Amino acid sequence: MSAKSDIRTGESDFVRAKTELAAVAAKSGALVSGVAATGAFENAPQGRRPDDLLPRAKSVFVVGGAQPRAGDWQSPNYQHMEVTTTSDRIHGLALKMARIIEDQYGYYAVCIPPGVDQGQQPFMSISMAAELAGCGSRSLAGPVLHPQYGFMYFGAVITTMPLPADGPSSIAACPAPECVTMYESEGVTPCTRVCPLESGGCLSGRIEQGTFTKRQYDAARCSTRVQNYWVPGFQKVLGEALREEDTEKQKLILYSSIFSRTLWSMTYSNVSQGQCAECMRVCPVGRAHRTKR
């Protein structure tokens, strides 16, 4: 009997189904996967919870991987990452998993869109989903980090399929032991030193008893660096071009390097690409996987 007919008659082994989905995800390139129960999203804003996108949702299946290559972190020309992105691959994998859940198991599935909804807010926090599914933990710098692999991209699928939940990981990836030692001697960590809030950067925080506390993150300031060439950059340059009355100056704006870069990044990427990732470049979590000859 097929998995689809098993589940539809109520005889499914959801543990087995979860194992099968995880195996497909791993074979398709995911480094990690996990499941979060929809009830765990109680701290998410109203309108941005799983059942706001899919009524009667029971689970959120999360996949993680598609990291920038080790060479990307070594390149001094970090802008190249905007057009050689790997994040769209993990979204493509999430779409594949959604189709498998519907076609093979007979349950509804919705892939969380990677873009933004009203108010420049995500449809649902994929980072929260990754954390609640045990695929990593929050970091002082902000991104969810896996204790072994460090920074990665995530995709998530909301489904009415009641898969067994993993729950948050008991292992905190951040701060790494090296960061604790550095903080004890210098009062900073690699990420807060490279982007200090008090000196025009975006990050600040303390480490107490091996745990980061009093984290501060200037999201508005960070976005001016992270999204230089994506949609916000396009909107800014286009606005300037429309306001310019001199046709020759207007032409210079439209054919400028920044506008050309913006169009390239939007063409190659269906999700926002960060042009500044210095906090992750210096992060020791997952460094072994970014160290080559």
> What pLDDT, in 10s, does the model give residues 237-286?
899 999 999 999 999 999 998 888 778 767 665 554 555 788 999 999 99
Question: Tokens representing 114?
Answer: 């990677």
**What is the rounded average pLDDT of the residues 75-98?**
81
Residue 293 to residue 277: CA distance in whole angstroms: 22
Mean per-residue pLDDT for 38-62? 95
Tokens of 73: 């972190």
Written as six digits, the tokens of 293 are 């000859």
Give me the pLDDT at residue 4, please.
52
For residue range 201-239, what is the model confidence (pLDDT) as tens digits?
999 999 999 999 989 999 888 877 776 666 777 888 899
Write down the pTM of the prediction.
Answer: 0.84
Backbone region of residue 119 per phi and psi (left: phi > 0; alpha: psi in -120 to 50; beta: other values): left
CA distance 5 to 106: 8
Which of the two residues, 155 and 12, has the higher pLDDT score?
155
Amino acid identity, position 110 = V
Collect all residues with Cβ–Cβ distance below 8 Å to 75 and sequence separation of at least 6: none
Residue 276 CB neighbours (<10 A): 19
Closest CA to 22 of 87, 125, 100: 100
